[in-house]
Structure 1
């Protein structure tokens, strides 16, 4: 039965002619990693071995991989206890020949990535200086070259500034100038984008290619040879990685600059330290149980926190395998989620995406699969039993998408909350039981190490509720311990809402070269998120951006996100954006841009208002409605509502809803 279903699905995907998976065949390189080549990575810092002593070695003297990894782990633990930071490229040594990245062109092990990063880091250090904390802007596609450039930048002791080929030239120029880049690193296939910028601003540029990643074969020169340069020297008292900085350097250094999406002005460079990243890695891998047994499907842009840290840095740090797709394509993602014509080792266990991606996957499912009961049964069984976790973030998840995805896959999407400046702060639980569940429209509770508080709107001194997530506490693990540290506030007896503040080791260090803007975003050490949040029945929820999503109309304070969520339940509405328009009488009036499922048929406003009576209060219903074919969103599915207000000034007059 299941064999027949699998063939049916295979036939569909073969027809799709998917370019990025090589027609369903496994992408494999002619790569043989033997014990001899693997041990070439390491030196145990013993006395030199000459030919005479080498010939006298016994089996007991040979390199022991298991013992070596144990010793390396112990050394990492010692350095961490001594307040050092071990960056991801160093942790790659723990996973050796294990595959780190599979992309459209092949597979790359952790060992090869490490050696490739070391090789590229020499070029970077020759220009910037070793450990100079210079800004290195790099432009790479969503494949192994991105990881190579990122690791090499950190290996050299510089600050990584990722760029996106999707950005217009003017924006790329702004980033390069704003961070005062010392060097540009570019994948060869994107030379046409970045080289003109390098020439315009007289910046040095180097190119990265897949050939920078060395092969690990029987012919590799042994790094244990006293005439060869040792890559890693490990003794009882010391660990030296040639060309890299020590753990104390990373504990005190900046790691990365990510730029905000610029919805409220020019993008700001958010400075994240290696300590920030280390805290985030520890928090997420603990809360979401990410480890070296995971295979993560990566389809996200690599210039935002979600794609860079959640989707790439965290999994690789603990030895997970990444399958990186060059871009999102619904049929391609379904191919990987269902493991069509792929080896078992490529079976996906973890998937992270934004609400827009889940919505597009649902549309593809409804178009291709929904009428075939055998396929729908197979898809739900496979996803529910073979994929352990699916996560949504970066934009509000409509309840309709949450419910429909559960119907299709048996997965309750884990929704979380974060932003570039704070990393991930709140999350629904990984484990689901009678005491814990993933509730649509909520973002759960504070992640490990993160402190969260809601204050009275406009009055940061009046704290309504404060909570702190703890590693190993009951919300995240199967142990009978308190969920949170003791808080000054008892559990509220009724729903509350107010301004959301975050504090903890994941919160960014500063905005690059903007000390005044940095200062005004903090109140007594707490970062002011600019979001309005609610708390009810033990869970936090995001009501929206205080500046654009909280609508003050006629004495009422309304959440645009909640109105959007309810309107999306209407069967004829595909997408909607609710925003505030200035009004002399009411202060603001509720307006809506609506995308109909059937573009040829607009919804009757009287019918929509009648339908909404059981969903939202009458004063929340939009008084101005405009139909449109598309609501523009950025790469992470976020809507710039300030720009949307311009939609109401175009020629076609909006519809005034009946009062």
Structure 2
């Protein structure tokens, strides 16, 4: 089946491409599209001009909204496809005092209901498309993931209840704009419950923001979300400024413990030392979860820890409610399946699931591709036909996971990311993120090379910071301190550069040929 916007022919709902930063314009443009019945198509300025042009063409965007910072990029697109361009900045938003006279102009009473003037009725949102999110996986053309308003509402409901979002919550968002655009926890959940979101990107003053220096109580964040790489930068900033002052260090830990209730990281690998250092600095264990645009949130570490449920650096935790999951091995055999009881839709507790196991490996973890179904899962890809991405109503994520005792651990997004050594399946990403946390390593990549005895050798490439002489023995000691022996690299090479595409992907097969074969 070829998916198109149902209202496209009438002109009532069109695809609007948006190119802006991770700031207040992001939710304003997103919700502006939805309130007027349009489909939101976020773009990223990290993409090459070829990829941007492809997405605008494939999505059949009829309008581009762009921040002034992205005007040059956006203008080239609009000229190429002869579509309108609107440049917006914070001055674009009119100021209102939100007095009763202003509210009387925009609110309409219809029977017992109060509606916002210019918006569409609920029937429109029960069947319409909210977003097209384009992935940018290496060696493949971007695909437009169709996310409906019903998908979004399911995702929002699950996270709001599982993580206890409230009206008085204030979230500090340090995520990139392309992540914030689809990850409901980063702004949609807060706006849904009436909370606040603050966007921030200047990490040179991040600790003043975290500690709410000179901020009134009502403007102090109590939730933080960031990528693991951002947590690394914040820790390095802490070490530069505060590490020698024990009194300030104690104050920071006390402040964060008393004023923050949750600190979140996404599905990207989180190294043990970052997890440990962050807990030592702030008193908070970072909460990891797994999601992707196609599925929404699927797995999460627990919001509240107890004897049964703990947060770990190397796991994404337990299955979330209202999602069904199964694990399938490379031969297509189903290893396990866990189905949520949809009769109990109000259940939002993150529970240690009792899956049906199709294979018993005598205490060893089950390893295979994660597949997902449920109300959060997208409807298909825009302009693509066929069902090769689904099997028995399960979406094939392409993500390799390990499952044991009800807990999921991410190993990688392809077989290239999984290293099989000494009978274990290991995540190369977990080793890479540890190496990236080393103060003298600018970039790193971990690949697997065939070995007659141990299946595969773990080989690491490290790019030193400019002007720094990287000591290999120091790197080995660093790895040995934070990794179990079976995850430590067998071979480490220092290289001047690691090639990545515009969104940071690495061709590991090419790296292996270049340096180790």
TM-score range, shorter chain: 0.7 to 0.9
- How far does the alpha carbon of each residue in 1:54-113 deviate from its partner, in whole angstroms, 9 at most, with x for none? xxxxxxxxxxxxxxxxxxxxxxxxxxxxxxxxxxxxxxxxxxxxxxxxxxxxxxxxxxxx
- SS class of match (1:351): strand
- Partner residue in 1 for 2:77: 197
- How far does the alpha carbon of each residue in 1:167-189 deviate from its partner, in whole angstroms, 9 at most, with x for none? 34333222211211111123345
- How far does the alpha carbon of each residue in 1:574-624 deviate from its partner, in whole angstroms, 9 at most, with x for none? 86432134789998653211356893132139966995899333xx65454
- SS class of match (1:258): strand
Shift of 1:301: 1.7
Pair 1:527-2:395 in alignment: yes
**Please, which of 528, 538, 546 is the counterpart of residue 406 of structure 2?**
538
Q: Is the 8 A contact 1:233 1:241 kept in 2?
A: no
- TM-score, with structure 1 as normaliser: 0.68
Pair 1:640-2:505 in alignment: yes
- Partner residue in 2 for 1:277: 152
Shift of 1:295: 0.7
- Partner residue in 2 for 1:110: none
Q: Is the 8 A contact 2:232 2:437 kept in 1?
A: no
1:13-24 equivalences in 2 (<5 Å) = none
**Please, which of 112, 135, 144 is the counterpart of residue 24 of structure 2?**
144
- Partner residue in 1 for 2:3: none
Pair 1:156-2:25 in alignment: no
Q: Is the 8 A contact 2:269 2:430 kept in 1?
A: no
1:304-319 equivalences in 2 (<5 Å) = 304=179, 308-319=183-194
Distance, in Å, in 2 between the alignment partners of 1:366 and 1:590 is 30
- How far does the alpha carbon of each residue in 1:111-167 deviate from its partner, in whole angstroms, 9 at most, with x for none? xxxxxxxxxxxxxxxxx8987331101222333222222122111211101123343
1:501-580 equivalences in 2 (<5 Å) = 501-516=371-386, 519-552=387-420, 557-561=425-429, 563-564=431-432, 576-580=444-448
Cα 1:610/1:342, change in 2 over 3 Å: closer
- Partner residue in 2 for 1:435: 308
Pair 1:456-2:334 in alignment: no
Q: Is the 8 A contact 1:156 1:245 kept in 2?
A: yes
Shift of 1:368: 1.1
- Partner residue in 2 for 1:373: 246
Flag structure 1 segments of 5+ consecutive residues without an equivalent: 1-127, 477-482
- How far does the alpha carbon of each residue in 1:265-315 deviate from its partner, in whole angstroms, 9 at most, with x for none? 222111111011101100111111112111111221222357653212221
Distance, in Å, in 1 between the alignment partners of 2:483 and 2:230 is 29
Pair 1:235-2:111 in alignment: yes
Distance, in Å, in 2 between the alignment partners of 1:458 and 1:473 is 34
Distance, in Å, in 2 between the alignment partners of 1:409 and 1:611 is 25
**Please, which of 472, 479, 494 is the counterpart of residue 627 of structure 1?**
494
- Partner residue in 1 for 2:287: 414
- Partner residue in 1 for 2:258: 385
- SS class of match (1:165): coil
Cα 1:136/1:444, change in 2 over 3 Å: same
- How far does the alpha carbon of each residue in 1:234-286 deviate from its partner, in whole angstroms, 9 at most, with x for none? 422x5543322111111100000111132342221111110111011001111
**Please, which of 221, 225, 235 is the counterpart of residue 352 of structure 1?**
225
Q: Is the 8 A contact 2:352 2:406 kept in 1?
A: no
Distance, in Å, in 2 between the alignment partners of 1:142 and 1:613 is 33
Cα 1:554/1:416, change in 2 over 3 Å: closer
Distance, in Å, in 1 between the alignment partners of 2:33 and 2:42 is 11
- SS class of match (2:64): strand
Flag structure 2 segments of 5+ consecutive residues without an equivalent: 1-7
Pair 1:498-2:367 in alignment: yes
Q: Is the 8 A contact 1:457 1:498 kept in 2?
A: no
Distance, in Å, in 2 between the alignment partners of 1:467 and 1:204 is 46
- Partner residue in 1 for 2:473: 604
- Partner residue in 2 for 1:186: 66
Shift of 1:630: 6.6
- SS class of match (2:250): helix
Shift of 1:491: 12
Q: Is the 8 A contact 1:467 1:484 kept in 2?
A: no
Q: Is the 8 A contact 2:64 2:84 kept in 1?
A: yes
- SS class of match (1:511): coil
Q: Cα RMSD between the aligned structures?
A: 3.7
Q: Is the 8 A contact 1:253 1:273 kept in 2?
A: yes
Shift of 1:541: 0.9
- SS class of match (1:418): strand
Q: Is the 8 A contact 1:448 1:468 kept in 2?
A: yes
- SS class of match (1:334): helix
1:28-177 equivalences in 2 (<5 Å) = 132-177=12-57
Cα 1:645/1:314, change in 2 over 3 Å: same
Aligned length: 506
Distance, in Å, in 2 between the alignment partners of 1:204 and 1:323 is 30
Structure 1 or 2, whichever has the larger Rg, is 1
Q: Is the 8 A contact 1:188 1:207 kept in 2?
A: yes
